[in-house]
A and B are shown apart, each in its own frame.
Chain A
Amino acid sequence: MTQIKSKKLRGILLGAGFVAIAAFVFTGCPGQQRMLDTGDAAQKVYVAPGEHDEYYGFFSGGYSGQLSVWGLPSARFLKVIPVFSQDPETGYGYSEETKPLFNTSYGFIPWDDSHHPHISQTDGDADGRWIFINANNTPRIARIDLVTFETKEILELPNTGGNHASSFVTSNTEYVIGGTRFSIPYEQDLDVPIDSYSDEFRGALSFIKVDENSGKMDLEFQIVVPPYNYDLGRAGKGPSADWVFFTTYNTEEAHTMLEVNASRNDKDFIAAVNWRKAAELVANGHGKTAPGEYYHNYYEGNQGYAISEQKNGVTILDTREIDEDFIYYLPTPKSPHGVDVDPTGEYIVGGGKLATVIPVHSFSRMLQAIEDGAVVERIDGIPVLDYDATIAGEVENPGLGPLHTEFDGRGYAYTSVYISSEIVKWSLETFEVVDRIDAYYSIGHLMITGGDTKNPDARYMVGLTKTAKDRYLPTGPKQNHPAQLYDISGDRMELLLDFPTIGEPHYAQAIRADLIKDNVAQIYEMEDNDHPHALRRIADNRVERDGNVVRVFMGSTRSHFRPDNIEGIRVGDTVYFHLTNLEQEWDVVHGIAIKGAQNSEILVAPGQTKTMKWEPNRTGIYPFYCTAFCSALHQEMQGYVRVSAADSDVPLTWRTGTN
């Protein structure tokens, strides 16, 4: 017994030793990361003080729910744009104007998980007008305006579980897409046993029409598909511009222990959707209307309160009921994550996260296969095409766990590889790996400047990695997610920079700064301020009472509020501070906070009107002040509100300037 034990122990020790040696051999010494000579790398990322970066980078916030903005190549952090999560820093989601953006058919939801930002496109190239981003948890899509860098619209997707295959746009931003990651019963609120999965659960692929002038979204139709997990999506470009591709996994239709049960099949599918044909079918009345409650939250006009429009009913195309083929399954190994279309629109690259190769489908071969009827079976009416008929090549030896691919437009593709924590560069001509470089550590998506467009401007690549471990000064058991910047302008990828990010960036986008920066607003024009409670002239400042509702029409300029002394507020009142920042000068921001408010501060940009709600519950004197260091006498920018008992008869008065 003892002997066996000691043998086992020896074996374990020996094994551990081998692992240690192997780890050393394969990873090398810590100093051996491949990068340019430090001086050269520093020079490539150095942007002198006061100079601007060449690119805007937009990194999703992941579980922060937001979108962060970076300058590349310096990796200067520029801003967090709040999208799906309340942001007490700016008052986003706390101000009366922004609260309606969080309304859903499940109520007010102050958080979500934002994954894949995508910039609007014209003719397959990013045009810098808007950026879309998806919410994975309570399925939604947001549109952010790149003039003000503010979230302008949030659309809920009904009958969808986990909007992960989103928010990718077609090449002229005709549509932005959504997709079910977690199939659920398509029938709204259906209460069924979980193990009725294969019978009752369905996936939904959403096609959201984007107004070409305003950017406003409209859920045009959903395609109801078999109950797989629809993971990522991408629109085609050029010859394939009328198509959208989605990856699927869990074609096993598992509903428990997916890590095992959804990893059994050798091949899952890429779903190729001819969106133009689908839209035609809808236009010609082939769709039907299904119940589906959802909210559409947006602004009308320049300023004011976001509007929450409650909608019900969605047009669906159910593949089981429609005779015409508009969606095809391309068998793809194995639980693919990314589905990425090369700049020519010909190659569709699957990122089979458990596959030993990177499969590359050919769009022209796919069309040929469809024409030839190379269909091996039909699933719920969807033709499954023959793998050999659509595949153009398989990239051998790509590392372990290929995920997501972007392109440089010079004939190469770059695939992130999670398990072996590296990026592989391979040729779209020979389908052979030509270079590989380490990622620190465990890379998810990667992003090449313009790498998902028709004309990649492929100077830099960013790897979005999942664990920092020892890369930076340690900051506790949970550290921020890293990103690495690589120079890909030469034959070999070279590491330039490694920097921590905000939240968990799942995907990112970059666009040449000159496409955006000249359009960025410096102020909100007071003249165009159409907020119903704006203070257009400082002399009009006032306080109005209507029952228990008190509205303070307040103005701010450096360095005072008008009014700044208010009396006659009573316990039980609901007080709205409508603060208009009357400044018309770039970056001169005023804020307001009042003692005891169960709310955040409100930050108000020049020319903007924002509203803070306050329900005083105790009598007394309440100081309020400007939270932004706006001017030399910022510290003097304050005021008082007197709160009297509910039955008090202190008259409502307000004043400024007479002590």
Chain B
Amino acid sequence: MNWKSRILMGVGALMLIGLYFQPFWTISMTAPQYPEGIGMYIHIDDVTGHNRHDLQSINTLNRYIGMSEIHKEDFPEFVVMPWIIGFMILFGLLAAATGSVKLVLTWIGLMILLGIVGLVDFYMWGHDYGHNLNPDAPIKVPGMSYQPPLLGCKQLLNINACSWPYIGSIYIGLSMVFGAGAVWINKKRQY
């Protein structure tokens, strides 16, 4: 690959560093009693509230429908993900350094795979939280489950929950665009 492509790939890989500082997913909820909204950010290593105490409030509310409390410690993903992203950054840099189109393509492939695995994992967690309810829950609505939407908005009782990618995902997206761009420019030069 030429220098331009290499730089592009290198920058793309480095963009993933942003994931250590910004959440990549957000779930925001509104309800008549929550005009100001309440919600969670998902980071590669943490889950936090939109506001300082949102998570506590969400757990308090979820008790009524018997949903398990959400605690960072329950997610092994938060331990693994920083390493995986670290690996992807190094891999990307290696691809840039060697200038190997193959490596770049592998990198892109891995990124796509990670994305799919991540979404599936997210869906499974959502399914688990939404369906695996405490039978002693005070509020039981027959046939009702509380799985949050994977992408988009969904009305769950009085709460309208919306799930969207957040700033970190822009880094992921850009990173992959840069990687693909590196291959594309390289290809163009060959003709």
Q: Which residues of A line the B interface, CB within 8 A?
A: 523, 557-558, 583-586, 632-633, 636
A contacts with B: majority SS: loop
Find out whether the CB atom of A558 lies under 8 angstroms from the CB atom of B138.
no
Tally of B interface residues using CB under 8 Å: 11
Known contacts: A557-B60, A558-B60, A583-B60. The answer to whether A633 contacts B138 by CB under 8 A is yes
Smallest CB gap from B49: residue in A: A584
Task: Report the separation of the CA atoms of residues A632 and B157 in the bound assembly, to the nearest whole angstrom.
Answer: 13
Find out whether the CB atom of B53 lies under 8 angstroms from the CB atom of A584.
yes
Min C-beta distance of A287 to chain B, whole Å: 49
Q: Which residues of B line the A interface, CB within 8 A?
A: 36, 52-53, 56-57, 60-61, 63-64, 138-139
Among B36, B60, B61, B138, the one with the most A-chain Cβ atoms within 10 Å of its Cβ is: B60
A–B pairs, 20, beta carbons within 8 Å: A557-B60, A558-B61, A558-B63, A558-B64, A583-B56, A583-B57, A583-B60, A584-B52, A584-B53, A584-B56, A584-B57, A585-B56, A585-B57, A585-B60, A586-B36, A632-B64, A632-B138, A632-B139, A633-B64, A636-B138
Smallest CB gap from B55: residue in A: A584
A523: B residues at CB distance < 8 A: 53
A583: B residues at CB distance < 8 A: 56-57, 60
Smallest CB gap from A606: residue in B: B53
Task: Report the separation of the CA atoms of residues A637 and B34 in the bound assembly, to the nearest whole angstrom.
Answer: 22
Smallest CB gap from B53: residue in A: A584
Min C-beta distance of B175 to chain A, whole Å: 36
Known A-B contacts: A558-B60, A584-B53. Give 7 more (CB < 8 A): A523-B53, A558-B64, A585-B57, A585-B60, A586-B36, A632-B138, A633-B64
Find out whether the CB atom of B64 lies under 8 angstroms from the CB atom of A585.
no
Smallest CB gap from B35: residue in A: A50
B36: A residues at CB distance < 8 A: 586
Task: Report the separation of the CA atoms of residues A633 and B36 in the bound assembly, to the nearest whole angstrom.
Answer: 23
A557: B residues at CB distance < 8 A: 60
Among B53, B63, B138, the one with the most A-chain Cβ atoms within 10 Å of its Cβ is: B53
Task: Report the separation of the CA atoms of residues A636 and B64 in the bound assembly, to the nearest whole angstrom.
Answer: 13
A636: B residues at CB distance < 8 A: 138
B64: A residues at CB distance < 8 A: 558, 632-633
Task: Report the separation of the CA atoms of residues A585 and B53 in the bound assembly, to the nearest whole angstrom.
Answer: 7
Min C-beta distance of B126 to chain A, whole Å: 24
Min C-beta distance of A49 to chain B, whole Å: 12
Smallest CB gap from B36: residue in A: A586
Task: Report the separation of the CA atoms of residues A586 and B63 in the bound assembly, to the nearest whole angstrom.
Answer: 19
Smallest CB gap from A636: residue in B: B138
A584: B residues at CB distance < 8 A: 52-53, 56-57
Min C-beta distance of A632 to chain B, whole Å: 7
Min C-beta distance of B160 to chain A, whole Å: 18
10 A-B pairs with least C-beta separation: A584-B53, A585-B57, A584-B56, A558-B60, A633-B138, A557-B60, A585-B53, A632-B64, A584-B57, A583-B60
Task: Report the separation of the CA atoms of residues A585 and B57 in the bound assembly, to the nearest whole angstrom.
Answer: 7
Min C-beta distance of A536 to chain B, whole Å: 14
Smallest CB gap from A633: residue in B: B138
Smallest CB gap from A50: residue in B: B35
Task: Report the separation of the CA atoms of residues A586 and B61 in the bound assembly, to the nearest whole angstrom.
Answer: 14
Smallest CB gap from B61: residue in A: A558
Task: Report the separation of the CA atoms of residues A586 and B38 in the bound assembly, to the nearest whole angstrom.
Answer: 12
Task: Report the separation of the CA atoms of residues A586 and B139 in the bound assembly, to the nearest whole angstrom.
Answer: 23
A558: B residues at CB distance < 8 A: 60-61, 63-64
A585: B residues at CB distance < 8 A: 53, 56-57, 60
Smallest CB gap from A607: residue in B: B53
